[in-house]
Amino acid sequence: MSATIGTLDRARHRLTPSGYVICMRGVMWREALRFVHQRGRFIAALVRPLVWLVIFAAGWREVLGVSIMPPYHTYILYSTYVVPGLLAMIQFFYGMQSSLSMVYDREMGNMRVLLVSPFPRWFLLVSRLTASTVISVIQCYAFLVLAWLWGVDLPGTGWISVLPALILGGFMLGAMGMVLSSMVRQLENFAGVMNFVIFPMFFASSALYPLWQVQQASPILYQACLLNPFTYAVELCRFCLYSTLEPVSLAVVFGCTVVFTAAAILAYDPARGLMARRPRPGA
């Protein structure tokens, strides 16, 4: 009996607030190490939006004029318009990549190491989500520097005021990827999900074109854009970059973050989630 009590004390000792901090720090540290060791991922994450900014936006700037519309107070170049969309794209791709690594981890078994930790499952997943959000925010700022060097006009205060939007957007998109990763059994299937989720969500949003222009071109596509949470992540970034709060976008992004995070926690819950219903190889 005394041994049991001793064990209980030990377990409680480890699950102290400092234990939680150590655990979250460990998860973030591992994500950071992985990020540092995979420099190609970092470069690819920057090259992708730069291609859009330097090539795509340069081509379109003469064709597509962006009229005065909130949060802009004057006519802007297309390259300025597209920056918030590309910031959200970085986060979107990183969220999906992080989920991809979760599928990889699950196949390779690393995910199991995380899931057999004594800390609550929700805490482990939120730690993982926090880690991927921090990395995606760093990538966003690296892109902002490159965009500024390229000559994109960005308001000075926007560098700071966009941070909460990037954090919230990173959580939403990371949580969405986490839900998707719980549904995917094999790594190969995830490529299909990327094609069916990333591209439709990215193009059916306000990332590349103002919504009023989308509405003129296709009312159906416009409705799809309004139903797309990615649109609101982009708009939240856009308004925050100009130190303006757009309440509808904030509410939608916040609500979706809560729903996606809850869904991810549920999906990875051994009692109720999708994980519990699948046999493993050799089971």
Evaluate whether 88 touches 234 at the Cβ level (below 8 Å): yes
Closest to 133 in 3D by CA, of 179, 98, 89: 98
Closest to 124 in 3D by CA, of 27, 259, 19: 27
Interface with other proteins includes 117 (CB under 8 A)?
A: yes
Nearest distance, CB of residue 35 and other proteins, angstroms: 10
Q: How far is CA 93 from the centre of its chain?
A: 7
Interface with other proteins includes 10 (CB under 8 A)?
A: yes
User: What are the structure tokens assigned to 221, written together?
Assistant: 């596509």
By the 10 Å C-beta count (0-12 exposed, 13-18 middle, 19+ buried), 12 is classed as exposed
Which residue's CB is nearer to other proteins, number 26 or number 210? 26
Interface with other proteins includes 275 (CB under 8 A)?
A: yes
Question: Within 13 Å of residue 106, how many CA atoms lie on the same side as its CB?
Answer: 20
- Is the Cα torsion angle 277, 104, 166, 53 positive or negative in sign? negative
Interface with other proteins includes 103 (CB under 8 A)?
A: no
Nearest distance, CB of residue 18 and other proteins, angstroms: 8
Interface with other proteins includes 26 (CB under 8 A)?
A: yes
CB atoms within 10 A of CB 53: 20
Total residues contacting other proteins by CB under 8 A comes to 50
- Determine which residue in the list 72, 92, 115, 222 makes contact with other proteins, applying CB under 8 A: 115
Binding map of other proteins across residues 27-46, x = CB under 8 A, - = no contact: x-xx--xx--xx--------
Can you give the binding site for other proteins, defined by CB under 8 A?
A: 3-4, 7-8, 10-12, 14-16, 18-20, 22-23, 25-27, 29-30, 33-34, 37-38, 108-110, 112-120, 124, 269-272, 275-283
